[in-house]
C-alpha cells in the first residue's frame, strides 16, 4: 500500500522554522571556529613543512576549528549529528586533513605559499557553507518533493528492492551472457579483466553503465524494509543478500567512494529514524563506520589483483600502514602554487566539463577530455589521475573568491535538502540519506557530486513510473 502526503503535520509552522527548532545549528559559532582554526593552522606551519607529519599541528588546529560548531550542536541535541550541513562541514577533515593528521606522505613539488593557500581555501569553502546556512532554504524542486511524499509499506519496499536490483545488476549479467557462474568468477579477478569494464572513452555500452546507479539504493531500501518489518523475515534475508551481492559488483570496480556512499546512506537512514538517540546508538554507528573504513582500505589493497588473491594466499596482506584517503591536500597546494602564476584560471571550463561528462561520446566525439588543466601532465606524471578535492576544482575556476562561492553553493544545496528531515515519510528519509552522502562524496570532486546524484534521479524516475501510476489507478 502507498499513501501520498502533500503537507507535513506541522504545516502551520514554516518548514525552515520547524527545521531550526528541531535540528538547530550554529552558523555564527561555525564561522568563528573556522576563522580561528584557519589562523592557528597558518601560525602552526613549521619552517620545514615538507616531511610526513610536519603539518600535524596545523591540520589538528584546522580540524578542531571546523568541528567546534557541529560538536556543540550534537552535545545539545544528538539528533543534529547527521544534519547535512554538519556532514558537509566535516568533509574537508576526511578528504584533505586526515592524511596530514596521520603523516601519510611527504609534501613534494610545492612551496610554502601553496601550503598556506590550501589552508586558506579550506577555511573559505567552509565559511561559504556557514554563510549559506544563515539564509532561508530554497524550496525543494517539485519533482523531488513529490518523490519524497510517499509512505511505503513493507511489500512495496520489497518490490522496489527487486526492481532496483534487477536494473542495477543488468550491466554485469549482460556482459557475462547472464551466466551466474561466470559473473561470480570474474568478481574475484582484478577490475581490468572483467567483461563489464570499459575504457575511459566508452561507446554505446556507456548506457549500460548508467544502470548500475539503480543498485546504489539497495542498502538504504533494505534498512527501510528491516525497520518496517521489525523482524527477520525471508524477504528481509533476501534483501540483505541482494544488497551485499550488488555491493560486491560495485566494489569490484575499485571505486571506494561508491561503497562509502551506499552504505553510509544506509547507516544515516537508520540513525535519523531513531526516536531517541542514546550512547549505544553512537557506539553502533562508530563501529559500523570503522568496519566500512576497514573494507574500503581492503578494496584499495586488492583492487589491482582481485579478492581471489586472498583465497590463493590464504591471508590478508596490507601494504598501507595508514588509513589512505587521497593526497588531496598536496594536490590542492600544488594547484594554488601553479595557478594563476604559471597557468591561467580555467573559469567556466571546469563546470562545463563536469556537466557534459554523462553524455556518451558516441553522441559527441569532440567532448572535452579535461577541464583545460591537467595536473599530472604539468607534474610530468603519466597514466595517473590526481584529485585535489572540489576545493581545488573551484579554485581552478577563478581563485579564492570562487572557492567561497563554491562553499556557499554547496551550503545552499545542503540547507535545501535538510528540509527533508522534518518529513515523516520513508521516501523522504531515503532521499535525505542519499543527498547527505552525495554532498559528502561531492566534496571530493564535482564529478562525484553529479555521478552520486544519479541514485536520487533513479529514485525519482522509478517512483514516478510506478507509484504515480499506482495512485492514479486507485483514484
> What is the average pLDDT value for the chain, to the nearest integer?
88
186: confidence class by pLDDT, cuts 50, 70, 90: confident
What pLDDT is stored for residue 6 in this prediction? 43
What pLDDT is stored for residue 5 in this prediction? 47
**Arithmetic mean of pLDDT, 381-395:** 90
Residue 307 has pLDDT above 80, yes or no: no
Rounded to whole angstroms, the maximal C-alpha distance in the chain is: 72
Nearest-CA neighbor of 243 among 147, 150, 169?
A: 169
In this structure, are residues 330 and 111 in contact, taking their beta carbons and an 8 Å threshold? no
Mention every residue, 6+ apart, whose C-beta is less than 8 A from residue 78.
277, 282
Question: From the CA atom positions of the chain, what is the Rg in Å?
Answer: 22
What pLDDT is stored for residue 279 in this prediction? 85
**What does the pLDDT look like over 390-409, one tens digit per residue?**
999 999 999 999 999 999 99
Distance of CA 181 to the CA centre of its chain: 32
**What does the pLDDT look like over 257-268, one tens digit per residue?**
899 999 999 999
259, burial (CB in 10 Å: exposed 0-12, middle 13-18, buried 19+): buried
Residue 83 has pLDDT above 80, yes or no: yes
SS3 at position 3: strand
C-alpha cell at 157: 519496499
Between 7 and 74, the more confident residue is: 74
Nearest-CA neighbor of 146 among 4, 341, 33?
A: 4
Q: Which of 18-32, 107-121, 198-212, 329-343 has the lowest mean pLDDT?
A: 198-212
Give 422's Cβ-side CA count (13 Å radius).
Answer: 22
Neighbouring CB atoms inside 10 A of 142's CB total: 8
**Arithmetic mean of pLDDT, 420-449:** 94
315: confidence class by pLDDT, cuts 50, 70, 90: low
40, burial (CB in 10 Å: exposed 0-12, middle 13-18, buried 19+): middle
Ramachandran angles phi, psi of 3, nearest 5°: -105, 150
Distance CA 155, CA 310 (A): 39
**What does the pLDDT look like over 199-234, one tens digit per residue?**
544 555 667 788 889 999 999 999 999 999 988 999
C-alpha cell at 349: 571550463
Amino acid at each position: 500500500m502507498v499513501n501520498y502526503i502533500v503537507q507535513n503535520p506541522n504545516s502551520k509552522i514554516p518548514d525552515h522554522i520547524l527545521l531550526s527548532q528541531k535540528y538547530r545549528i550554529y552558523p555564527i559559532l561555525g564561522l568563528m571556529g573556522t576563522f580561528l582554526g584557519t589562523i592557528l593552522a597558518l601560525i602552526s606551519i613549521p619552517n620545514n613543512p615538507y616531511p610526513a607529519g610536519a603539518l600535524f599541528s596545523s591540520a589538528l588546529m584546522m580540524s578542531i576549528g571546523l568541528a567546534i560548531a557541529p560538536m556543540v550542536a550534537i552535545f545539545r541535541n544528538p539528533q543534529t549529528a547527521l544534519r547535512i550541513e554538519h556532514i558537509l562541514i566535516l568533509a574537508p577533515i576526511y578528504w584533505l586533513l586526515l592524511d596530514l593528521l596521520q603523516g601519510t606522505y611527504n609534501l613534494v613539488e610545492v612551496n610554502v605559499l601553496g601550503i598556506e593557500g590550501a589552508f586558506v581555501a579550506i577555511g573559505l569553502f567552509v565559511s561559504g557553507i556557514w554563510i549559506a546556512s544563515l539564509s532561508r532554504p530554497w524550496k525543494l524542486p517539485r519533482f523531488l518533493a513529490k518523490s519524497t511524499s510517499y509512505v511505503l509499506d513493507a511489500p512495496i519496499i520489497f518490490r522496489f528492492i527487486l526492481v532496483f536490483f534487477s536494473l542495477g545488476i543488468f550491466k554485469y549479467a549482460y556482459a557475462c551472457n547472464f551466466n551466474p557462474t561466470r559473473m561470480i568468477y570474474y568478481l574475484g579477478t582484478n577490475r581490468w579483466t572483467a567483461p563489464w569494464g570499459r575504457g575511459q572513452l566508452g561507446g554505446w555500452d556507456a548506457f549500460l553503465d548508467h544502470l548500475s546507479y539503480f543498485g546504489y539504493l539497495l542498502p538504504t531500501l533494505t534498512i527501510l524494509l528491516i525497520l518496517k518489518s521489525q523482524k527477520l523475515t525471508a524477504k528481509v534475508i533476501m534483501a540483505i543478500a541482494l544488497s551485499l551481492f550488488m555491493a560486491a559488483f560495485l566494489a569490484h570496480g575499485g571505486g571506494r567512494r561508491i561503497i562509502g556512499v551506499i552504505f553510509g546512506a544506509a547507516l544515516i537512514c537508520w540513525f535519523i529514524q531513531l526516536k531517541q538517540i542514546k550512547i549505544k546508538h553512537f557506539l553502533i554507528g562508530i563501529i559500523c563506520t570503522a568496519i566500512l573504513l576497514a573494507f574500503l582500505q581492503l578494496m584499495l589493497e586488492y583492487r589491482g589483483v582481485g579478492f581471489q588473491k586472498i583465497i590463493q594466499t590464504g591471508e590478508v596482506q596490507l601494504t598501507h600502514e595508514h588509513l589512505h584517503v587521497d593526497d588531496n591536500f598536496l594536490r590542492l597546494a600544488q594547484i594554488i602554487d601553479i595557478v594563476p602564476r604559471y597557468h591561467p584560471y580555467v573559469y567556466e571550463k571546469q563546470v562545463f566539463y563536469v556537466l557534459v561528462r554523462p553524455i556518451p561520446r558516441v553522441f559527441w566525439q569532440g567532448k572535452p577530455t579535461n577541464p583545460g588543466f591537467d595536473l599530472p601532465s604539468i607534474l610530468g606524471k603519466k597514466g595517473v589521475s590526481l584529485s585535489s578535492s572540489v576545493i581545488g576544482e573551484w579554485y581552478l575556476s577563478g581563485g579564492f573568491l570562487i572557492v567561497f562561492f563554491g562553499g556557499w553553493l554547496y551550503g545552499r544545496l545542503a540547507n535545501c535538502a535538510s528540509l527533508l528531515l522534518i518529513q515523516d515519510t520513508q521516501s523522504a528519509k531515503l532521499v535525505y540519506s542519499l543527498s547527505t552522502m552525495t554532498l559528502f562524496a561531492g566534496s571530493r570532486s564535482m564529478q562525484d557530486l553529479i555521478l552520486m546524484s544519479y541514485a536520487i534521479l533513479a529514485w525519482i524516475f522509478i517512483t514516478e513510473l510506478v507509484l504515480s501510476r499506482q495512485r492514479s489507478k486507485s483514484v
